[in-house]
Structure 1
Amino acid sequence: MRVIVSTTSGVPLYEQIVEQVRAQVMSGELSAGSPLPSLRALAEELRVSLITTTRAYNELAAEGLIVNVPGKGSFVAEIDADVARAGALDRARAGIRQVVTRARASGRVSREELMTMIEEEWEL
């Protein structure tokens, strides 16, 4: 498992961990049943607090991406394709909602401009 965190990105550290592990699980880079580093080992490796890694693993478990087995560790869960798709759609909708809210609040971005930006990003 590869995880790189940045203290200057403005994104909370636990969210950076969640996003990167999620991407690796969804892409198949981390396969079902694969063991994850222990909470302490990951905290030490990333130089973050144990609370940060615990929060990240708990969020991943709540999403059904990993399974925490007391006394044994954390493992990549078997992912149901429909559940994974629904989760991806939910996260995309939440992100879009946030972007639309910011654009409306600015009063300076039209719907057409926003749609053009989305299309441009999609093509990248």
Structure 2
Amino acid sequence: MRIVVSNKAGIPIYQQIEDQIKTAILAGDLVEGTLLPSIRQLAKDLQISVITTTRAYHDLEEQGFVNNVQGKGSYVLGQDSALVQEHALREIEAHLSDALAAAQLAKIPVHDLHTMLDTLIAAESGDDGDR
């Protein structure tokens, strides 16, 4: 597993670590039972504070992605479809809220937002809109 962090990303480093590990788990790159690097080893590899990696692993445990076993390490938990779907829904909702806030600032009508979303869906599905 390769984790890359940036001080210039505008996202806290612990969050960058969490996001990359969650993505790897949800994509199936990290399967159930996989032992993650130790907190100290990851901190050393990334040249960051142990406190930062501890926060990332703690948050991942709270969210149900890993199990931190004292003295043994952090292991990837199995992801049932309900947990994966709930996580995806929360993430989508957050992005839609951000988009809505940006649209309100720019005074873009709700109808135009619906049109944008329909256009994006059509582009993803390969539908050119001609029905």
Question: What is the match of residue 71 of structure 2?
Answer: 71
Normalised by the length of structure 2, the TM-score is: 0.83
SS of match in other structure, 1:75: strand
Question: What is the match of residue 39 of structure 1?
Answer: 39
Tell which deviates more after alignment, 96-105 or 79-88. Answer: 96-105
Structure 1 residue runs of 4 or more that deviate by more than 2 Å after TM superposition:
none
Give the root-mean-square deviation of aligned CA atoms: 1.9
**d(CA) in 2 for partners of 1:31 and 1:95?**
27
**d(CA) in 1 for partners of 2:53 and 2:68?**
13
**d(CA) in 2 for partners of 1:26 and 1:115?**
30
Structure 2: runs of 5 or more not aligned: 125-131
Residue 19 (structure 1) shift: 0.8
Letter in 2 for 1:8: K
Q: Percent identity?
A: 36
1:29-84 deviations in Å (ceiling 9; x for gaps): 00100000011111111111111111111111111000000110101011111111
1:81-121 deviations in Å (ceiling 9; x for gaps): 111111111121122112212321333x343157526717x
Question: What is the match of residue 106 of structure 2?
Answer: 106
**d(CA) in 2 for partners of 1:84 and 1:113?**
27
Aligned length: 121
Normalised by the length of structure 1, the TM-score is: 0.87
Question: What is the match of residue 19 of structure 1?
Answer: 19
**d(CA) in 2 for partners of 1:5 and 1:57?**
15
Structure 1: runs of 5 or more not aligned: none
**d(CA) in 2 for partners of 1:46 and 1:27?**
22
